Chains A and B, each alone.
Chain A
């Protein structure tokens, strides 16, 4: 089983739609959680960290459920520029402190 699992998509949505991505992680020692965005042939860029209390950044809302080991990202009022691959990322509290990436969920926002 992969340490971080995501639905690969693609999610094809019209402009203005609300879309939600889910992610599950298997290692209960995971401490920090993030959503990254990766455009084609580019490096991943941090979109937002994810906190237990849930957090919002403009049109983006992230939620974490530690009991279920589940992370979500909600995008409201989708823009064409939101088209990208969204990577769910976790970091363990012990051992090496590299990031573990999910395989990503591809979003295509259509006009």
Chain B
């Protein structure tokens, strides 16, 4: 099956620093990538939808200047958490929708962010 990778798998950083998370589709081209966030014992919440070559669409309540998304190619999207604070500590998961396989999304393994 299609494979999506995320890097790093976990990161611990100090408050105020910026953290970049990469999401790659390894064996297919993804027209759209989605970024989700999951707090402990809660559901995955969509943060933003990223389309290759265009600006991301953010969900209500998600600050676009804080969570910078770049989707520069059909196989790579990045999420940068700028000036991270402890409340940003969460499990960040990306998913990618394949061009040729309609309606199927493949999830990355997630990135666990802890902000001290």
Interface residues of A (CB under 8 A from B): 4, 8, 32, 41-45, 87, 91, 96-104
Question: B69 to nearest A CB, angstroms?
Answer: 13
Interchain CB contact under 8 A, A100 and B91: no
Q: Which residues of A contact B45 (CB under 8 A)?
A: 101
Question: B11 to nearest A CB, angstroms?
Answer: 14
Interchain CB contact under 8 A, A100 and B103: no
Chain B residues numbered 68-116 whose CB sits less than 8 Å from any CB in chain A = 91, 93, 95, 97, 103, 105, 107-110, 112
Q: Which residues of A contact B108 (CB under 8 A)?
A: 43
Bound Cα distance A45, B36 (Å): 14
Q: Which residues of B contact A87 (CB under 8 A)?
A: 43-44
Bound Cα distance A32, B103 (Å): 9
Interface residues of B (CB under 8 A from A): 32, 34, 36, 41-46, 49, 57, 91, 93, 95, 97, 103, 105, 107-110, 112
Bound Cα distance A39, B91 (Å): 13
Q: Which residues of B contact A104 (CB under 8 A)?
A: 43
Interchain CB contact under 8 A, A98 and B103: no
Q: Which residues of A contact B57 (CB under 8 A)?
A: 96
Bound Cα distance A102, B43 (Å): 6
Interchain CB contact under 8 A, B44 and A91: no
User: What are the 4 closest A-B residue pairs judged by CB atoms, nearest first?
Assistant: A103-B43, A43-B107, A101-B44, A101-B43
Question: B98 to nearest A CB, angstroms?
Answer: 13
- Contact of A97 with B109 at beta-carbon distance under 8 Å, contacts A44-B44, A103-B43, A104-B43 already known: no
Question: A8 to nearest B CB, angstroms?
Answer: 8
